[in-house]
Chain A
Amino acid sequence: MKTKNTNGKDLITTGIYTALYIVALFAASVANVTPLTFMFYPAVASLLGGTFFLMLAIKVKNSFSIIVWGIIVGLLFLVLGMGMALPFFVVGAVVGQLIIAKSGHKSLGMITLAYIITSVCSVGGYAQLFFTTDSYLKEASARGLTDDFVNGLSKYATGTFLAVIILVTAAAALCGIMAGRLIMKKHLVKAGVI
């Protein structure tokens, strides 16, 4: 009953690694407690999620799974109040998918590149803070965030800091993939699960 269009295994595997990635995101959300670490949430998230992205990219060899992953995770961002992250994340995922599909799902370098691009895109969730700083901060205090938190945020709303965040996120994404690579080499390849 195989058709060329639908491969059930791919779809289900995508779902499972997306679920694991989302759990990693939840684990990373401890970062949201102070204004400074709040800004590095994408970095922490991409560090913890790298392994699952790597597994997804290696295990599912088709031309849409990364995009689907991006859509689902982006929707989660939307539901959790970071709606701005959705379009950025989906665009990042599409670019990542193109890179990975072009390299034939084999090149670790290309997978790493794709993941770094997607992770950096997730920083786009803070676009409001950097480009419409005033209205964002006004909104934040209208929501009832305390002045301290808002002042803390406003201190970080500079171009230099944006660059720092992007660099740190990229580095964290790289580390995330490296960690995944190490885990795979040490345990999974030997056990024959890959």
Chain B
Amino acid sequence: MKAGGLDVRTKLILLLYTAIVVFAVPKLWLEVTMFALCSLLHIIYGSVRRSLKYLVIYAAAVAVQFFLLPKLSGAALMTVSIFAVSFRRLMPCIMAGRLLLQTTTASEMLNGLQKLHIPIEVTIPLAVTVRYIPAVKEQLQHIRDARRLRQFSKRGGFLHRAVRSMELYYVPLLVSAVQMSDEITAAAVTRGIEDPCRHTSALERRFGTADYLLLTLLAALTALIIFTRKAAVA
């Protein structure tokens, strides 16, 4: 990544800002603004197709809310509105989160968090968590395939089946978690994770123009929110 790449701290601020603002200020225009901002960033980072995919889903959700929901009632309304409204509200957060995860390497993230003076006891578990979740998803898929092959699913009552399937999922997950933690530890210790000194990084990031631009934008948005609130009260 060359110039134009955002600092990890900016991406973190963007994520937290999106999460707080979208849920604390329930206004559609604000949500759309955050959504537009995030998709713009995705496009700048080169993932035009993903951005388009999000855009289609988002537009569909908004359309459903305004045109389909008034015509529905009862259980259908409930289910559709969960997807159209609750999930749609999450989308800016999901996008900001994906931006953070997919354009940041683990070492970049550790370096950025270290600069924020967050202790290593928090940053390393956080980095491992973030990296391990996709691995768990992959494992779940494998477990599902294996289950299907051996046809475990169709015996006993509901409770029996639920307990059994919990067991069938959890045991392989735990066994591989124990193994993985040994392996990752070996790799990390080799790279000096237990060194008490301040860790350095070959790729030192500083705040650049893009960072300041984005932060100014967020500040302006905050001012706008406060202004419209006051206007609404008066």
Contact = CB atoms under 8 A, between A and B. Distances in A.
B128 interface: yes
Interface stretch (B49-57, B148-156, B165-173): B165-173
Contacts of B173: 20
Chain A CB count within 10 A is highest, among B23, B77, B121, for: B121
B222 to A, nearest CB: 16
A6 B120 contact: yes
Contact of B193 (A11, A79, A148): A11
A34 B173 CA distance: 30
A143 B89 contact: yes
User: Chain A: interface residue count, which band?
Assistant: 35 or more
Nearest to A82: B23
Given A7-B194, A17-B177, A78-B16, A145 B86 contact: yes
Interface in A143-192: 143-146, 148-149, 179-180, 183, 186-188, 191
A116 to B, nearest CB: 19
Given A5-B196, A81-B90, A142-B26, A148 B77 contact: yes
Interface of A: 1-3, 5-9, 11-20, 22-23, 32-34, 48, 51, 55, 59, 64-65, 68-69, 71-72, 78-81, 83, 139, 142-146, 148-149, 179-180, 183, 186-188, 191, 193-194
Given A13-B181, A18-B125, A23-B137, 19 more contacts: A2-B194, A6-B196, A9-B189, A13-B185, A15-B127, A16-B132, A20-B173, A23-B133, A32-B82, A55-B177, A68-B121, A79-B97, A81-B19, A81-B90, A83-B19, A144-B65, A146-B77, A149-B82, A183-B171
20 contacts: A8-B193, A11-B121, A12-B185, A15-B125, A15-B127, A19-B128, A19-B132, A68-B121, A69-B125, A72-B125, A79-B97, A81-B89, A83-B20, A143-B85, A144-B81, A146-B85, A183-B174, A187-B171, A187-B175, A194-B178
